[in-house]
Amino acid sequence: MSSHPAKVSSRAARKVAAPAQSKALSTTKQKLEKLGLRSAQDLILHLPLRYEDETEIMPIAVLRPGRSAQIQGVVIRSEASYQPRRQLTAVLQDESGVIGLRWLTFYPNQQQQMQVGRRWRVRGEVRGGLHGYEIIHPKVTVADSPLPAALTPVYPTTDGLSQPSLRKAILQALASAELNDTLEADSVNKLGLQTFSLAIRTLHGPTPDMDAQALIEHTHPSWLRIKFDELLAQQLSLAAARDARRSLRARKLTLNSKPESLCARLLQALPFSLTSAQARVVGEISVDLQREFPMYRLLQGDVGSGKTVVAALAALQAIDAGVQVALMAPTEILAEQHYQKLKIWCEPLGVEVCWLTGSITPKARKLANEAISGGRARLVVGTQALIQDTVEFFDLGLVIVDEQHRFGVAQRLSLSRKGQDAQTGAALSASDDFVPHQLTMSATPIPRTLAMTFYADLEVSSIDTLPPGRTPVLTKLISSVRREEVVAHVAQACTTGQQVYWVCPLVQESETLDLQTAVDTHLALTQALPKCRVGLVHGQLHQTEKAQVMKAFREAKIDVLVATTVIEVGVDVPNASLMVIEHAERFGLAQLHQLRGRVGRGVAKSVCVLLYQTPLSLLARQRLRAMYETQDGFEIAQRDLDLRGPGELLGSRQSGVTLLRFADLATDSALVVAAREVATDLRKNAPHIVERHLARWMRGREDFLRS
């Protein structure tokens, strides 16, 4: 009888333990889901950040500072102190010597661990201390336990999810997940790649004899297989997105080839002839507009290459075919620049050009909306105001987005969807389910590897030559200690009738950055240049004030324009031949190139002064050197990719979507080419492999297809 209560107690304990275990499992699952790890396939593709070598015990005597090491020994001294700060110190001894251990913060259980006489296995980075070598915040484990046979992976994790828990989940996934190759064995061998199973198992548990540096730098053959598979999945998904768009319907905007057509009349009226590059891309766009599925083309060209006139000809072809055109720019200064130029070109042809931004008066906005919805306005130019719910187009057939990388995916889609019901996405007219053609423009050329990956779903037209008459810009690097010399040069330039941009990175003084501000610089230059008319423009000015200042500068009523980067794109003042960029080391490479492109637009010899402050970081030196060495926007873009990666060049294109997790476009261009070729072949000859490969790699990343 006496054993019965014990049985009841044991059973009760199990009942209590079961919910606790269930809760722990639930918590772990939630933490894994926070990392996007919902399935075994997700877990096996959650690859290590680095590895720790816990396969051997090192004698204390051979340790060297700066290297991680694993040792084993007995605690011979331990002390907790609270003054001048709280810390725990201990000394560990093995047969060869002693080493200090130190915790800058500690818990009672750690203090108990370090009792004299206890034996531990310790791992961490060895550092030089006041009293010899030491390890700060070491990892402490049980001594004399079996050593692992493989390197220990360290994974990306989240709060509350320990490395052991993550490793356990991944090991379980490796035992149950599908690791068979998505590619045929012949293809894998031809490409010289490892099998997927070998690659994934190696990366989760490499043996100590493997090249640790190659694993860390992602150049190991196992990494090459994983990177190739990722790039292949990207190519296949973007091709699927392109096919999906081609299943949509668009109006065929047939080119009017008669002499009295709008395009022909504009070409005849222009005071210049198109370059061969401009003529080529006009033809490429024209062919796209005449197709029954929507054009999705990127027009890229260096600063001043003549993209606006190409866009104008595309717009006129669309208008001649009977539809409306909308052109959206990221800033009011750039939008107004387009508006003024297009108005001069198009209104003599009988095409009404409408202006719509957030800063116009309610009365002007009402009149503009009526002209747009009634169809009277054939070409509408504006900012994000174009995508407001109150704006309804009569028959929108072509959308042109300038400086497309500055807009998010949703913003560009909003303009493309004008004419669709906001709730259902259906066409407002049952008989008219056409989608507008879309032309996006960028003055930041895209490096080849970037175009082949993140822009593989659209056609790319490149204006790769500059119009005749554009003068090369001489770039000078000058330290800020010589600022007075630069000011003197500006004064001299103004006396000869030249106009000057002086660009600053901030509008008003910052508590964290000691930078020359636009407001302070305007005041200082006004005092230093009493014979010069000095103006100021920045993003915090009201649009009316900005427009007045820019108009005065264009009309040469201002000699020196102090500005922030609001003048980065779109501003065209041929008489401006000197650009000074204050704190040039603070700007990105593409931004510096854009700013430099504001000068060199006239006949006068132009100079861009990059005024920098020392000391310079390595990245800043590389950027400034690139600006000094080349004016080729495509070369600048490639160097920018090499320095910063694809994130900033892509802008908002991949908004909300993780970029490539494993492949590096700066170093893996050969893999990009191979993945593109294989993707083309698989789509043509093996659609079942395409489906299998995308199922492994694109799970949970469906937004990628819509980007």
Name the pLDDT band for 337 (thresholds 50, 70, 90).
Answer: confident
Average of per-residue pLDDT across 689-707: 69
Distance CA 162, CA 165 (A): 5
The answer to which of 6-20, 216-230, 578-592 has the lowest mean pLDDT is 6-20
Q: Cβ of 93: how many Cβ atoms within 10 Å?
A: 15
pLDDT at 36 over 50: yes
* Residues of each domain in the chain carrying CATH 2.40.50.140: 56-147
Sorting pLDDT into bands at 50, 70 and 90, what band is 664? confident
The answer to whether 333 and 541 have CB atoms below 8 angstroms apart is: no
Token duo for residue 8? 């009841």
Q: What is the mean pLDDT of the chain?
A: 84
Report the pLDDT averaged over residues 286-307: 90
Closest CA to 443 of 649, 295, 276: 649
Of the listed ranges 231-235, 311-315, 523-527, 658-662, the least confidently predicted one is 658-662
Burial 506-525 (b: 16+ CB within 10 A, else e): bbeeeeeeebbbbbbbbebb
Confidence of residue 498 (pLDDT cuts 50, 70, 90): very high
- Mean pLDDT within 318-324: 95
- Specify the DSSP element, H or E, that contains 576: strand 576-582
Tell whether the model's pLDDT for residue 25 goes beyond 70: no
Question: Residue 649 has what pLDDT?
Answer: 55
Residue 414 pLDDT? 53
Structure tokens that stand for 514 in this block: 């000691």
Supply the pTM of this predicted model: 0.70
Asked if 582 contacts 521 with a C-beta cutoff of 8 angstroms, the reply is: yes
Residue 592: which of 446, 477, 460, 470 has the closest Cα?
477
Cα–Cα separations (whole angstroms), residue 167 to 30, 151, 275, 593:
16, 12, 60, 47
Structure tokens at 315: 């717009």
Mean pLDDT, to the nearest integer, of 664-675?
Answer: 86
> What pLDDT sits at residue 75?
96
pLDDT band at 19 (very low <50, low <70, confident <90, very high): low
Q: What is the mean pLDDT of residues 595-606?
A: 84
3-state secondary structure 304-364: CCCHHHHHHHHHHHHHHCCCEEEEECCCHHHHHHHHHHHHHHHHHHCCCEEEECCCCCHHH
Residue 79 to residue 268: CA distance in whole angstroms: 90
Question: Sign (positive/negative) of CA torsion 325, 331, 335, 337?
Answer: negative
pLDDT at 688 > cutoff 60: yes
Mean pLDDT of 42-47: 94
pLDDT at 252 over 80: yes
End-to-end CA distance of the chain: 72
Q: How far is CA 44 from CA 103, 155, 203, 226, 649, in A?
A: 35, 11, 10, 11, 30
Name residues whose C-beta falls within 8 Å of residue 588's C-beta, 6 or more positions apart in sequence. 623, 640, 644, 648
* pLDDT at position 6: 43
Q: How far apart are CA 529 and CA 89, in angstroms?
A: 64
Burial of residue 406 (CB within 10 Å: 0-12, 13-18, 19+) is middle
Provide the percentage of residues in the chain whose pLDDT is more than 70: 86
pLDDT for 703 beyond 70: no
Residue 510 pLDDT class (50, 70, 90 cuts)? low
Share of the chain above pLDDT 90, in %: 51
At 113 the pLDDT is 92
Q: Which residues of 353-368 are buried (b: 16+ CB within 10 A; e: fewer)?
A: bbbbbeebeeeebeeb
Instruction: Quick: pLDDT tens for 340-384.
Output: 899 999 999 999 999 988 878 889 889 999 999 999 999 999 988
Give 182-225 as a 3 state SS string.
Answer: CCCHHHHHHHCCCCHHHHHHHHHCCCCCCCHHHHHCCCCHHHHH
Higher pLDDT among residues 486 and 643, named by residue: 486
Hey, which residues does 437 pair with through a beta bridge? 398
pLDDT bracket for residue 424 (50, 70, 90): very low
Read off the pLDDT of each residue in 296-311 and give the average, rounded to a whole number.
88
The answer to whether the CB of 46 falls within 8 A of the CB of 156 is yes
- What pLDDT score does 347 carry? 94
User: Considering just the CA atoms, what is the radius of gyration of the chain in Å?
Assistant: 32
**Bigger pLDDT: 390 or 32?**
32
Using CA atoms, how far apart are residues 143 and 151, in angstroms rounded to an integer? 18
- Burial degree of 314 (CB within 10 A; 0-12, 13-18, 19+): buried
Closest CA to 61 of 92, 107, 36, 28: 92
Confidence of residue 388 (pLDDT cuts 50, 70, 90): confident
pLDDT bracket for residue 418 (50, 70, 90): low
| Residue owning tokens 């006396």 | 495
pLDDT category, 432, cuts 50, 70, 90?
Answer: low
Write out pLDDT tens, residues 157-197: 988 888 989 999 999 999 999 999 999 999 999 999 999 99
CA distance 441 to 338: 13
Look at strands 132-136 and 152-154 and give their pairing: unpaired
Estimate to the nearest angstrom the gap between the alpha carbon of 244 and the chain centroid.
24
Which of the 8 DSSP states describes residue 273?
P
- The answer to whether residue 426 scores a pLDDT higher than 50 is no
SS3 597: coil
* Reported CATH class of domain 473-630: alpha beta
Tokens read off for 250: 């668009």
Judge contact between 51 and 154, C-beta under 8 A. yes
Give the dihedral sign, CA 626/632/634/635.
Answer: negative
Where along the chain do the CATH 3.40.50.300 domains lie? 473-630
pLDDT of residue 655: 37
Which two tokens mark 103? 């915790």
Name the range with the highest mean pLDDT among 243-247, 353-357, 422-426, 447-451.
Answer: 353-357
Give percent helix, percent strand, percent coil of the chain, each to the nearest 5: 45, 20, 40
> What CATH homologous superfamily does 56-147 map to?
Nucleic acid-binding proteins (2.40.50.140)
Q: What is the pLDDT of residue 500?
A: 95
Give the 3-state secondary structure of residue 294: coil
